[in-house]
Structure formats: C-alpha cells, structure tokens
Amino acid sequence: MSRHGGSIIRFQLLGPLSIAHGPETVVLKPSKPTSLLAALLLHPGAVVSTSYLLRAVWDEEPPATARAALQTCVLRLRRLFAKYGISATTIEAVPGGYRMHNDTETLDLVLFRTLTSRAGSATGPGEELYRLREALSLWHGQPLANVASRLLQQDAVPALEQERLRVLERVCDLELAAGNCHQVLVDLYESARRHPVRERFTEQLIEALYRTGRQAEALAEYRTVRDRLRDELGIDPGPGLRRLELAILRAEDLAPAPPEPARAVTAADAPALPAGSAATTSRPGRTVLPVPAFAGREGDRRAMAARLTAADGPRLVVVSGAPGIGKSALAHQTAHEVQEAFPGGVSTVPLARPDGTAVAVEDVARLLPDADHGAGRRLIVLDGAAGAWQVLPLLPATGDASVLVTSRRGLAAVVATHGGAVHRLDVLRPAEAHGLLAGLVGAERIAAEPAAAGQLATVCGHFPLALRIAAGRLLTRPGLSVADCAAWLAEDPPARLALAEDARLSVPEVLGQALDALAPELREAFLRLGARDADEDLSVRESEAVLEQLVEAGLLEDGPPGPYRLHDFLRIYARWHVRTRKTTAAAPSAAAAAAAVVSAPH
C-alpha cells in the first residue's frame, strides 16, 4: 500500500489517468510515460510483456532504441512516484516485462471490479443496488482521456466502457424493479442518447417514461430509435423494444411481475402470426392499467360492466362506432374497472395490424389464451374486428369467458347468434372533451383558457383521437397557448391533426385506412355525402342500401326511422380528402405542361 502524509495514494483509470492523494488529484499530461503507466495499470498484478508495452507506447513500429527508451520511461515514472511518496518498487521489473501490484486501496479499477463482484452475492436487491451505485461513483469521465496510445484507445477503452455500461444497466433494472422510475430517468436519458444502439437503455427509458405517466414521450422515444436503426443500420428494433411498444399501446401494466410464475400469451406462442400482432394477458394478481386521462362514457361503462360480470345469460359486449371515436379506449378502461371480477385474468387480442389490415382468423385463434378452469372467470378483449366473419369463428374457443369486442361495424350477426349488447359510441360531450384535455394537458393550463379549450374541442370534432393528438402537440410545446393551437389546427384540421412519431396518432392515417377498406362505390358515396350541407337529407340522392353499408362501416350514423347523419369532423375530412386528391392528380399534369414548355422550339 502506498501512502503520503497518512493519506492513501490511488491511481485512477476510470477517467483521465491521474494520481490522487488526500484531497488532491494530479491529472497526468499525455506522454509516453503516461501511456506506459496506463498499460501497466490495466493489468493489475499481472506481468505485462515488453513487446506489448512497446506497442502501447509507440503504436507504430517501435524504433531500434525502443527497449532502452522504455527503461527511460520507467525511470521517469519512478521519479514521478517519488514526488508523491510512492515507492519506486511499485513498478517491478520481472523477466519478460514489468508488473505493478495494485489492490482496492491503490487502484480504482480493482475497487470497481471488487464492488461489482460482491454485489452479485448481495443478500437482496437493496444491498446489490448500494454496492453497484458505489462502484459507479468511482467513474469520473472518459477513461484514459489523456492517454495518447492508439492501441489502448482502440482496445482497452471500449472494454472498460462495456464494464461500466453492464453495471449501469443492472442498476437501472434494479431501480425500475423497486419502482424508482422518476429517480432513474436522468441516467437513462443520458445513456440512451450516448449509446443509441444499446437497445436495453432505450427499453428502460421507455418503460420509465410510461410508468411515470408520460405515454406520448415513451412512444416518441420508440419511434426515434426505430427510425435511427432503420436509417443508419438498415435493421428494425429488437423484439424487446417491439413488445414494449405494443404493451404501451395496449395500456398494459409494466410493473415488475410477482415472484410466482404465471403464463402470459405472447406472439412467441404463435410463430406464424404476422408481424405487428400479439396477444397480451394480465396475470392473476396483477393490475390492468387505466387508460391515461380517460373521460366520460359513464353510462356505457356501467352497462358494459353489468353485462360482462353477469352471472347468467350471454356475457358478450360489442363496442362500435366511427374510427377515432374511442372504442379501444373504452374497452380497455372498462376492463381495468372490472378486472377484480376476473381472477382468471384479462386478455387482449388485437384483430388488426398497425396498418389497419385484418389478422387471419386462424392466426388470432392461436393467440387466444387456454382456459385454466382452476383460475376462475376470464375476460377476453377482441380489439379491432374487421367484421362478423372474424369474430364468429373465435367465440366457441372463448368458452365461458366474458368477451368484449371493438369494431367499426355493428356486428349485428354476432349478437344475433350469440346474444349480448352493442354500444354504438358517439362523439364526446363538451364537458367530457374538456375533461379529456384537462387530464392530458393539465387542469390548470386548460382552466386558464376555458373558451379556447372549448374551441379546440370543436376543431377536433369532439373525437377522442383528435383531442389526444391536439393534447400531444400542447404537451410537447409548453409555450404554446391553447388558443393559438386551436387557431392553427382550425386552418387545416385533417392535415394538422397528426403526430409524426406514430401513424396511429394521425387523423389522415386512421381515417384513410377506414376509407381504403371500403369498396370503391362506397368510398365515392362517402365522399359525395361529405360535399353536402350538414342539414341536407342524405337519403335524397343515395340509396338506402349504400347508406346502411356506410353505417355498418362506422362512417355514418343513425338511419331508419330517423335521418342518416354524418359527423361534422368526418365531413371535413371527406372534403379535405377530395381536395387533396385533386391537387395530387393535377400535379403530374402541371409537371408535364412545364416540361412541354421547356422542350418546345423557340
């Protein structure tokens, strides 16, 4: 052990190479002796061969006098050590090379490795976390930042950094498991930014953001790393990140699993399932998270809960309505509220891919959870059904489970053959829209501009999808007033109600998928209806058969005996779609005309 004035002398590698004694730290200047010292300290207690030291000090082909010069470097180090009271024998000449004896009191690298090793045998996560945090506190910057050796920079520095990152990953895992999501965010932001291809940090950051109520930021982080991986490496995110994205979109509970094992149905259970689909199961004893800032629909929720938990009769509920009207949100919120009545678990099975296309029935059937008759009653949510053809074959496999289905279509054939109830959703009432905005953006910010909040809800047509997109814009722009946001969106609502990070939070994408799913004649009929005035009788120039099919597709409301009705927001979208289509069609003609002018003889 080397001491000076009663203070322990410590060589520091985990940052700029330096010598610390007492309160003082001396950072060594880049030089050949500094490179030599680094090469020796990187192998504490081991004999470092002369040939390796020559390459570490000179990098290129060592000069003919390199061996003599190496001895000179050793002498210079010994003189430096003497200045700080370090014994000259700290560097030991041995056959074939040199050796330095260091322990936990004289070299931070040895202490770091000792602490991490002891953490592995800790009696509990608290003790392990304490030891690992203590180990990380030894780092004080980029290792060997003042060492000029290219050999060490290329080989040793990355290896040291990997040691640190493995410990930091474990620390973040322990913090998340302990529920300390807020405390670990700073570490994760920095680590995910500095090491973008190390996906585990991004997974941890996204989980921490989601579990602290910042769902939009969590999804934005996923989109950012996905785009970077595709652009820079030509690859998609790994399965861990993809599963995490789906879990957030499904509002799953990401809290640590209980000690007892429990089976969860995932895409791994069905290898043939197309990419983008998976089933999720809440395990007995765990919670199904509420939908963030859910507002309104009290009557629907009470009626649905009563139907799903009924002891007798069909326990089947269909939630239908226009795209973006909040069907999935209502289903997930209701599942959260009734989960205590289902000790066998709550399972969610998506029936549509992210691009809106339907998943084949046989693929969905493989994702349905097996009945565990000893676990108790179950609830199965079939989310995003394309039609009765997709649901009817699945119902026999659900056994005695309660089933909650969401679809743009009314699924009359399903309830006609199996019983149950249909809840056709309308837009939110003004008070409900206000509550949704307040819950997402913040009650104080919305209360400060009540009239503007009402105008914003009107611009969004009181559609939950549009309101959530508008809220996302306000959340990412703290300086933007509600009034300015409403005015900007009002200039072109369909085009501007979109978040670039996620196509599923985009009015043009979501409504465009619904429109593309229609037969051509129905698509054109919808666009014609959009061009008509709000108070005009829609049945005058369209056949009842066409109107009924548009009602079934979720793009038209009501019908006999009352008048058919088109939501104002869908009317605005239809007109925007026609205008955009005409502009796009005219663009090639304009380009051709310009080319003709250029090529015409003068």
pTM exceeding 0.75: no
Q: Which of the pair, 258 or 592, is modelled with greater confidence?
A: 592
Q: Is 380 helix (H, G, I), strand (E, B) or coil?
A: strand
Report pLDDT digits (tens) over 48-105. 999 899 999 998 777 888 889 999 999 999 998 888 888 888 899 999 899 998 888 8
Separation CA 251–CA 211 (nearest Å):
10
What confidence score (pLDDT) does residue 586 get?
Answer: 58
What confidence score (pLDDT) does residue 130 get?
Answer: 85
Separation CA 369–CA 394 (nearest Å):
12
Separation CA 214–CA 179 (nearest Å):
15
Separation CA 292–CA 64 (nearest Å):
72
Range name among 117-126, 226-235, 276-285 with the lowest pLDDT average = 276-285
- pLDDT > 80? residue 585: no
What confidence score (pLDDT) does residue 457 get?
Answer: 94
Q: Residues 427, 569: contact at Cβ < 8 Å?
A: yes
Binned at pLDDT 50, 70 and 90, residue 3 comes out as very low
Structure tokens at 99: 């050796």
Q: Residues 59, 151: contact at Cβ < 8 Å?
A: yes
**Residues contacting residue 176 through CB under 8 Å, at least 6 positions apart:** 184, 204, 207, 208, 211, 256
What confidence score (pLDDT) does residue 589 get?
Answer: 46
- pLDDT > 90? residue 502: no
- pLDDT > 60? residue 273: no
Range name among 200-214, 246-260, 417-431, 469-483 with the lowest pLDDT average = 246-260
Q: Do the bridges between strand 402-407 and strand 316-320 make them parallel or antiparallel, or are there none, so unpaired?
A: parallel
What confidence score (pLDDT) does residue 364 get?
Answer: 80
Residue 208 Cα to chain centre, angstroms: 10
- pLDDT > 70? residue 278: no
Separation CA 9–CA 2 (nearest Å):
6
The per-residue DSSP string of 539-590 comes to TSSS-HHHHHHHHHTTSSEE-TTS-EE--HHHHHHHHHHHHHHHHHHHHHHH
Separation CA 352–CA 535 (nearest Å):
35
Separation CA 207–CA 254 (nearest Å):
7
Separation CA 169–CA 84 (nearest Å):
37
What confidence score (pLDDT) does residue 40 get?
Answer: 93
Q: Which of the pair, 399 or 567, is modelled with greater confidence?
A: 567
Binned at pLDDT 50, 70 and 90, residue 572 comes out as very high
Binned at pLDDT 50, 70 and 90, residue 289 comes out as low
What confidence score (pLDDT) does residue 407 get?
Answer: 93
- pLDDT > 50? residue 594: no
What confidence score (pLDDT) does residue 356 get?
Answer: 76
Binned at pLDDT 50, 70 and 90, residue 261 comes out as very low
What confidence score (pLDDT) does residue 344 get?
Answer: 84
The per-residue DSSP string of 35-60 comes to HHHHHHHTSTTS-EEHHHHHHHHH-S
What confidence score (pLDDT) does residue 274 get?
Answer: 38
Neighbours of 358 (CB within 10 A): 17
Average pLDDT score over the chain: 82
Q: Kindly state the percentage of the chain with pLDDT values over 70.
A: 86
For residues 488-511, give the mean pLDDT. 82
What confidence score (pLDDT) does residue 259 get?
Answer: 29
For residues 7-34, give the mean pLDDT. 83
For residues 122-126, give the mean pLDDT. 81
What confidence score (pLDDT) does residue 327 get?
Answer: 92
Residue 346, H or E segment: strand 346-350
- pLDDT > 50? residue 16: yes
Task: Give the residue from 273, 452, 259 showing the smallest Cα distance to 353.
Answer: 273
For residues 542-552, give the mean pLDDT. 87
Angle at 503 between CA 357 and CA 239, to 5 degrees: 75
What confidence score (pLDDT) does residue 564 get?
Answer: 86
**Residue 438 CA neighbour count, 13 Å, CB half:** 16
Q: Which of the pair, 29 or 198, is modelled with greater confidence?
A: 29
Binned at pLDDT 50, 70 and 90, residue 591 comes out as very low
Separation CA 70–CA 64 (nearest Å):
11
Residue with token string 């300290």: 41
What confidence score (pLDDT) does residue 453 get?
Answer: 95
For residues 198-223, give the mean pLDDT. 87
Cα dihedral 222, 223, 225, 230 in deg (nearest 10)? 140
Report pLDDT digits (tens) over 368-384. 776 665 667 889 999 99
Q: Do the bridges between strand 379-385 and strand 421-424 make them parallel or antiparallel, or are there none, so unpaired?
A: unpaired
Report pLDDT digits (tens) over 388-421. 999 999 888 888 889 999 999 888 889 899 888 9
What confidence score (pLDDT) does residue 584 get?
Answer: 60
For residue 64, give the amino acid letter: A
Separation CA 41–CA 54 (nearest Å):
15
Report pLDDT digits (tens) over 301-347. 999 999 999 888 778 999 999 999 999 999 989 998 998 888 888 88
Binned at pLDDT 50, 70 and 90, residue 560 comes out as low
Q: Kindly state the percentage of the chain with pLDDT values over 90.
A: 28
- pLDDT > 50? residue 2: no
For residue 275, give the amino acid letter: A
What confidence score (pLDDT) does residue 277 get?
Answer: 47
